[in-house]
Amino acid sequence: MTQATLPDTHADRGKRSFWRRNQIAISPWLFLAPGVIFFLIYVIFPVFQSFQISTLRWDGLGDPEYIGLENYRELWDDPAFYVSLKNNVLWLLLYLLAIPAGLFIALFLNQTVTGIRLYKSLFFFPFVISQVVVGLVFTWFYDPTFGLLNVMLGWFGLGPINVLGDPTYVTYGIIAAGLWPQTAYCMILYLTGLNGVNPEQIEAGRLDNARGWRMLWHIIIPQLKPATFIAFVVTIIGALRSFDLISVMTNGGPFGESRVLSFYMFEVALSEYGFRMGYGAAIAVVLFLIMLIFIAYFLWSMYRETRGR
Amino acid sequence: MVSKLKTSLAALGLSTALATSMVSGAFAAAHETPLTGDLVIFSDMSNPAPRAVMEGMVARFKEMNPDLNIELTIIDREAYKTQIRNFLTANSPDVANWYAGNRMAPYVDAGLFEDISDVWEGDMSENLASTKGALTIDGKQYGVPYTYYQWGVYYRKDIYDQYGLSEPEDWETLKSNCQTLLDNGVKCFTIGTKFLWTAAGWFDYLNMRTNGFDYHMKLTAGEIPWTDEGVKKTFANWRELIDMGAYIDNHTAYSWQEALPFMLNGEAAAYLMGNFAVAPMREGGLTDDQLDYYQFPTITPDTPKGEDAPTDTFHIPSSAKNKENAKAFLKFVTSAENQTLINAGDALGQLPVNAQSSVDDDKFLKEGFDVLSNKAPGGIAQFFDRDAPAEMAKVAMEGFQEFMVRPDNIDRILDRLENARERIYK
């Protein structure tokens, strides 16, 4: 290396090999290549393939038939699609409650008491167990005849509620189950964030007579901005991939009232009664467009951050 | 090992039955010249008892053909339903399990199942006549049955006796029985509709009894609109039960197994189910004195009764490599001897399809066999989600579940089903 670079300053450039001349420019791309190639094959290419499949009528076995935008037209009139879309919005909005909830638990646990590590790990516990287990635990919790929830409601003289069997409560019931591990996740993000809060700024705030909410709002939270951003990202992603809880707890029911787009797509394209690949792909495209809004926002804010440095 | 012991014991017990039944032609054919080469079998018989049956069958077939190299792969029953699409197109076995009726139609249409009409020639068509229709598409046969089971109302005889009730023969008695039970704080029927298909059982029976078997078959084949008067009448009958409060509360939260305890505890008196529900109910502590069976009663008089009897089958994929061996195996599977053996109470505990087979000495199997052979002049259906195309079945079963919770939505539900019918069957 050193041998090559030393005489370079005044050597005639034409004689140097292509590799020598472009080494610095090419190397990063070589290192990136495996990742980029797999990303193209397994992420970018299927995105376009979905667009293409969504214009077909195809059961995955026979010959596909081109039907243009017919699948989207059908989607437009499909009540099940609107139910799923509405539930997706509910998930996105209500799942964000995990962020303030996580923050407050983190603030509560951010103190030095004997055994605080144990308490912290207990609070973090729901995030460690599988979503399927969380789903099962909550299914039993909600059970209309034997479930703990209805026993507890009984203490206040309230009638039994069939949370997972009633179309009005079912989505909220599942979101509540999902919030349990998600809050733990946000909590751990904020706990690490709180370690990085500058004690001098807090001291300065104290001198200026800030305490309680004012201290939290003006001094602590601005410093937690990176943690909040990550918590926001993981929560949005968590809300959009809420598939497993729904599958375990209700299987989309009762009569499809708890489906979200990803679950509906699975049912239409891949489940026992499905195999309408084109229609499933059309739902996937709509889901992708929704995600695109968030992806664009995340990319934009990350771009702004790197430029700000 | 255990399964081998079991089968040989069962064989011993059967020897008397076999002495009277003639040795079927197929069975003899399999004996003529022992087979050689390979035979690859993919099976979905993954529950403990069916698994032992499948392994036992392979062991006996291997005994007959010592030089045949048999490779058996057993796949989880639910996973199988999606995997079959992959292995039929990519890496197909010589023999595969599947279901009769409309469920096999997509694979037949895509040319993935072999036409095996030649296997059905001769005695076999006669012996398996009851299910031949369900395995025929456009006049050709695409598979062979190995078992089926009856559906019907399983009820708590002790509770019925306690309130002086008898098995209903007609709709009025069924309702008056139900009223008596409800007055005494017992629900008439348990059901768990979380996975939808249990509600389809009710629709099958109500529709077959209200409008007849032929009407039901036309409806599932898409030839009758869902907004038809007949369909509305079926739902009106169903509504009578729903408005009475005949079904357990909160049934949308339960699977069919989770609905069993209501019957075991005596909170509900009956269950419209397939015969497979008997085993868990016996395990749950019900004796044969407490548990009994009746055929779903008449609703419209003089309508020939149709029955649900889902049939499980074997098929040969078109791209199989050892088709001759596979055909010999199918003949072996359908032989009277084998069907008697595999459907015995200590094996599958279901009904043999071959008319020459004998039914195990079990009260429910005997009654079911009688119902299917003598009391179902209308015809035998496969079950809603096997008679209707998968897509239609899904939409319709969701509609049934919604109707059971919100019967007032019936017009909206039927319009939705009619839209789906127009799209799916075109």
Q: What amino acid occupies position B293?
A: Y
Closest CA in chain B for residue A71 = B423
pLDDT score for A13: 54
- B195, A251: Cβ pair inside 8 Å? yes
* Co-location of B217 and B332 in the same domain: no
A 10 A CB-CB count for B177 gives: 23
**CA–CA separation, A294 vs A290, rounded Å?**
7
User: Does B265 map to a domain?
Assistant: yes
pLDDT score for B20: 38
Residue percentage of chain B with pLDDT more than 70: 92
| Beta-carbon-side half-sphere exposure of residue B390 (alpha carbons within 13 Å) | 19
pLDDT tens for residues B75-115?
988 889 888 888 998 889 999 999 988 888 888 988 899 99
Domain count, chain B: 2
**CA–CA separation, A93 vs A172, rounded Å?**
11
Question: Hey, what are A187's tokens?
Answer: 């909590």
Q: Tell me if residue B317 falls in helix, strand or coil.
A: strand
Cβ atoms of A122 and A207 closer than 8 Å: no
pLDDT score for A15: 65
B196 shares contact with chain A (CB less than 8 Å)? yes
* Co-location of B86 and B210 in the same domain: no
Residues of A with CB below 8 A from B107's CB? 61
Calculate how close chain B gets to A83, using CA atoms only, in Å. Answer: 14
Residues of A with CB below 8 A from B193's CB? 253-254
B163 shares contact with chain A (CB less than 8 Å)? no
* Co-location of B206 and B304 in the same domain: yes
A146 shares contact with chain B (CB less than 8 Å)? no
Cβ atoms of B208 and B306 closer than 8 Å: yes
Calculate how close chain B gets to A75, using CA atoms only, in Å. Answer: 13
Alpha-helical (H) ranges within B265-409 are 278-283, 323-334, 336-342, 363-374, 384-387, 390-405
B250 shares contact with chain A (CB less than 8 Å)? yes
Residue B113: strand pairing partners: B317
- A256, B398: Cβ pair inside 8 Å? yes
User: Does B383 map to a domain?
Assistant: no
User: Does B79 map to a domain?
Assistant: yes
* Co-location of B216 and B229 in the same domain: yes
The domain of B160 spans: 151-308+389-424
**CA–CA separation, A271 vs A274, rounded Å?**
5
- B85, A145: Cβ pair inside 8 Å? no
pLDDT score for B16: 40
- Give the count of Cβ contacts less than 8 A between chain A and B: 74
In CATH, what number is assigned to the domain containing residue B7? Answer: 3.40.190.10
Residues of B with CB below 8 A from A272's CB? 78, 81-82, 390
A61 shares contact with chain B (CB less than 8 Å)? yes
Residues of B with CB below 8 A from A255's CB? 398-399, 401-402, 405
pLDDT score for A14: 57
User: Does B382 map to a domain?
Assistant: no
* pLDDT-based confidence at residue B21 (cuts at 50, 70, 90): very low
CATH 1.10.3720.10 fits A78-308, yes or no: yes
Question: Hey, what are A158's tokens?
Answer: 């309230």
* Co-location of B62 and B17 in the same domain: yes
- Structural domain boundaries in chain A: 2-53, 78-308
Indicate the length of chain A as a whole number.
Answer: 309
* Closest CB from A79, A144, A272 relative to B250: A144
Residues of A with CB below 8 A from B112's CB? 61
A276 shares contact with chain B (CB less than 8 Å)? yes
Per run of 10 residues, the mean pLDDT along chain A (length 309 residues) is 48 70 90 95 93 89 87 90 93 94 91 85 88 92 87 85 87 94 93 88 86 85 90 90 89 88 90 85 92 88 81
- A165, B251: Cβ pair inside 8 Å? yes
Residue percentage of chain B with pLDDT more than 90: 51
* Co-location of B345 and B254 in the same domain: no
- Residue among A164, A259, A273 with most chain B CBs within 10 A, to mutate: A273
Which residue in this structure is represented by tokens 């937690």? A224
pLDDT tens for residues B181-234?
999 999 999 999 988 899 999 999 999 999 999 999 999 989 999 999 999 999
Residues of B with CB below 8 A from A270's CB? 82
